[in-house]
Structure 1
Amino acid sequence: MGRNGGHWPSPVLPNRGIRRATADDVPELTELLAQAFLHGPVADWLVPGDPDARLEVYLEYFAMYADDAVRNGEVEVNEDLTCAALWYPAGHAGWPANYSSRLHTLAGPHLPRFRQLDQAFSRAHPAGEHDYLAFLAVDPLRQGMGQGTRMLRHHHVRLDAIGRAAYLEASNTRNRDLYLRHGYVVLDEITLPDGPPVWPMRRTPAPPATPSPAGSPEGVDDDGD
C-alpha cells in the first residue's frame, strides 16, 4: 500500500474548525509536539534529568516527525494549533527520511533509549489495514478541555465510514483510559527496559449509526480530556 491514500484531499475539514496542516505549520506544530510530550513516564525515561535538555532534543526530534507527517501522512489541527493528530496510513515505512542518521545526531547519549523504544513499537505494530495515530498532542495549558476527544471523534467518523481500523500506542494510564473510552482495546502491555509500560491499542470501526429516537440527546461531550 502507498504512503498516503489521499482519503480526504480537502485541506479544510468540516468539524469545529479542524483542518489539514501544511508545510507552513511545521514550526508551530513542532513546538506543540515538544511541549505536549515534554513530561511523562516515557519522556522521563527517554531523556532523564533536566527538562530543558530534554526540550532541546525533543524540538529536533519532533521537527523531523512534523515535517514527515505533513508530507506523507495526515496531520489534523484545530484553528489555533493547540491540538494536533499525526496519522499515517497502513503501509507507511514508519520512519522519516534519513531517520537513523538524524536520530543518531539529535539523541546523542540518549540514542540507546530511543532505539529501544523504536524496536518495542516495531515489534508490537500489527499488520492489516488501519490508520496509525503516531502522536496526539494537546497544548499543556489546554489539556483536560476535551480537545483530544474532539480530534479523535473527528477522525473516527471518517474511519467508520470506510470501515477502517485505528492503531496507536498509549504512553501513560491517563491516555490509555481516554482511548478506552473511544473504543480502543489494549492488545498488550510492553514494559520498556528499566522503564515504564506502554500499551498498543486498536480500534475496530463502528458499524453504521442508526437514527436516534426522537428526543434522545446526541453529540454530548462528556469526556474531560
Structure 2
Amino acid sequence: MTITARVTIRQATPDDVDALADVLAEAFHDSAVAGWLIPDPTDRPTIYHRYFTAVLAHGLKHGHVDTVADRSAVAVWYPRLRPPPPPAPTHQASLAEATGRYGPLFALMEALFEVGHPDTPHHHLAHLAVRPVRQGRGLGTALLDHHHRRLDAQGVAAYVATTSPRRGFYQRLGYHTCPPLTLPDGPAVWRMWRPGPAGLPAAFPSTVFPPVDCFSEDPIR
C-alpha cells in the first residue's frame, strides 16, 4: 500500500472486481467509444459491467491492477516487455459471453488496438477510470504517478491508447501524442507514448508518425 499526495493506493484483489467494474462502466458510459460499441444506451450499463468484470479478471491474472482506498478509481496495466502470445481461446470466449450481440464490435476494437500497438518494450495502460462524482480530485493522476515511479526506476516506457479529446492530461505526465487510429465509422483512438527519463527510443518513428500537439490542457481527472 502506498500513500501518494494524500491518496492511498493499493493493488486490487478479486474481492474488488465487482465494485471496480461499476467504476469502469460508469466512467466510460458516455465516452465516444461506448456509443460505437453499444449504440443502445439502455444496454450499455449491463454489457459494460459484464465486459469490465472480464477485463479485471484478466488484468488480475496477467497484469497489474491498482485502486484507491474507497475503490472509486482504477488503473489496469499490462507489461509488454516482449511480444505477447496470441489471445487465448478462453479470452475470446469470455469476451463473447460478456458482450453478447455486441461481441463482434468488441472483438474488432481489440484487434485494431493490437495492430496499432508499439513493438518497443513498455507497460501498457489498458484502462484508467475514476467514478464521475470523484473526478477532478487527482485520483487518476495519483494512480499514474504511482506506477510511473516504478517504470522510471526500471527504465521502462509506458503506452496508452485513448479516445478522450482532452489529451493534455497525459501530456502533462510525460506522454507524447502520435496520429490516431480510427475505428470504422467511429471515433479516433489516440496513441500516446511516455519514454521515461532514460530517453528510450520513440515507439512511433517520426518519419512515419510525426508528433502532434495536444489540443486541450484541461484536466480530466
Query: Normalized against structure 2, the TM-score is what?
Result: 0.83
Calculate the aligned-residue CA RMSD, in Å.
Answer: 2.1
* Equivalent in the alignment of 2:129: 137
SS at match of 1:189: strand
What's the offset of the Cα at 1:201?
1.0
- Identify which of 174, 182, 191 aligns with 1:191: 182
What's the offset of the Cα at 1:224?
6.1
* Equivalent in the alignment of 1:123: 115
- Identify which of 22, 44, 61 aligns with 2:13: 22
Map 1:42-121 → 2, pairs under 5 A: 42-50=33-41, 52-90=42-80, 91=82, 92-93=84-85, 98-121=90-113
What's the offset of the Cα at 1:73?
1.1
Instruction: Kindly indicate whether the alpha-carbon contact (under 8 Å) linking 2:17 and 2:57 is maintained by their aligned counterparts in 1.
Output: yes
* Equivalent in the alignment of 2:192: 201
- Identify which of 162, 187, 209 aligns with 1:170: 162
Q: C-alpha distance in 2, partners of 1:100/1:45?
A: 20
Instruction: Kindly indicate whether the alpha-carbon contact (under 8 Å) linking 1:65 and 1:96 is maintained by their aligned counterparts in 2.
Output: no
SS at match of 1:168: strand
SS at match of 1:39: coil
What's the offset of the Cα at 1:103?
2.0
Q: C-alpha distance in 2, partners of 1:60/1:109?
A: 13
Q: Which range moved further: 180-189 or 90-99?
A: 90-99
Q: Kindly indicate whether residue 185 of structure 2 is the aligned counterpart of residue 179 of structure 1.
A: no
Query: Normalized against structure 1, the TM-score is what?
Result: 0.81
What's the offset of the Cα at 1:30?
1.4
Deviations 1:51-95 (A, max 9, x none): x31111111111111111112211111111111110111145485
Deviations 1:77-126 (A, max 9, x none): 11111111101111454857712122223323222321221121011111
What's the offset of the Cα at 1:198?
0.7
Instruction: Kindly indicate whether the alpha-carbon contact (under 8 Å) linking 1:29 and 1:81 is maintained by their aligned counterparts in 2.
Output: yes
**Paired AA for residue 125 in structure 1:** H
Q: C-alpha distance in 2, partners of 1:64/1:139?
A: 19
**Paired AA for residue 31 in structure 2:** G
Q: 5+ unaligned residues in a row in structure 2: which ranges?
A: 200-217
Q: Kindly indicate whether residue 143 of structure 2 is the aligned counterpart of residue 154 of structure 1.
A: no
Give the structure with the larger strand fraction: 2
Number of equivalent positions? 199
Q: C-alpha distance in 2, partners of 1:97/1:157?
A: 34
Q: Percent identity between the aligned chains?
A: 39
Q: C-alpha distance in 1, partners of 2:71/2:105?
A: 30
SS at match of 2:2: coil
Instruction: Kindly indicate whether the alpha-carbon contact (under 8 Å) linking 2:54 and 2:98 is maintained by their aligned counterparts in 1.
Output: no
* Equivalent in the alignment of 1:211: none
* Equivalent in the alignment of 2:24: 33
Radius of gyration: which is bigger?
A: 1
Deviations 1:22-49 (A, max 9, x none): 1111111111111111111100111012
